[in-house]
Amino acid sequence: MIRAVIFDWGGTLTPWRTMDFRAGWRAYAELRHAGDAQRAAELADALAAADIARWTGIREDARAFTVADVLADAAAEHHDDEHAHALAAYRDYWVAATHTDPEAAPMLRALREQGLRLGILSSTMWPGEWHDDWLRRDGVLDLFDGRTWSSDLPYTKPHPTAFRAAMESVGVEDPAACVFVGDRPYDDISGAKSVGMRAVLVPHSEIPVDQQVPVDVTPDAVIQRLAELPDVVRGW
């Protein structure tokens, strides 16, 4: 019997939107080195390279990381007022990619009406409070019983400990009683099925080449719209 549904965030609960991650770091660097275009460009390049290296590293050991880790890798000082202003510019750049799918709220309420507990497990370097702010803005924060951000964990998806942390957050111990919904075959589908969860694929995202991992895995269901999910889960 299914007791909980846990969702990936970006590209699953939010519609996929192509963003230039380098532009986000340029916004940061241009405030850190206002008036010095060369230093700003050098910092932006270093941050972009560190960002890529961290995400690529997940393919090897699923080690989680944070914005602070990327800044440290790029040897960027991040303990002063200039950093705070620059980080706000970086965050503002990404807001366009954070809006919740309009179908999410009614879908989540339908699942709750079925008596299911709801959670999020997201591979993210961003602080959990950023995500909570965006979910609150869109009126869906209180629909979740648990929210698990890899920036608070030692490992991210597809590592089993990340999925177990998400299960703990919603108060369900048996993975067979959980469904995971995500957009990435490797991180989401293979990761969930490896711990014994059912897995639903939402195949809408363009996964960056440096983050792709070939994997032979078959989801338990594939949906094209979030609105389809309550009927799928009801059938289990």
Peptide bond into 15 cis (omega under 30): no
Note the pTM of the prediction, 2 decimals: 0.94
What is the pLDDT, as a whole number, of residue 204? Answer: 79
Dist. CA 200–CA 97, nearest whole Å: 22
Reply yes or no on whether the pLDDT at 143 is more than 60. Answer: yes
Q: Which uninterrupted H or E stretch holds 8? A: none
What is the pLDDT, as a whole number, of residue 234? Answer: 95
Per-residue pLDDT reduced to its tens digit, 176-234: 999 999 999 989 999 999 999 999 999 976 666 555 666 778 999 999 999 999 999 99
Average pLDDT, the chain: 94
Query: What mean pLDDT do residues 122-140 have?
Result: 98
Query: What mean pLDDT do residues 111-135 have?
Result: 98
Q: What share of the chain has pLDDT > 90, as a percent?
A: 85
Q: Is 159 exposed, middle or buried (0-12, 13-18, 19+ CB in 10 A)?
A: buried
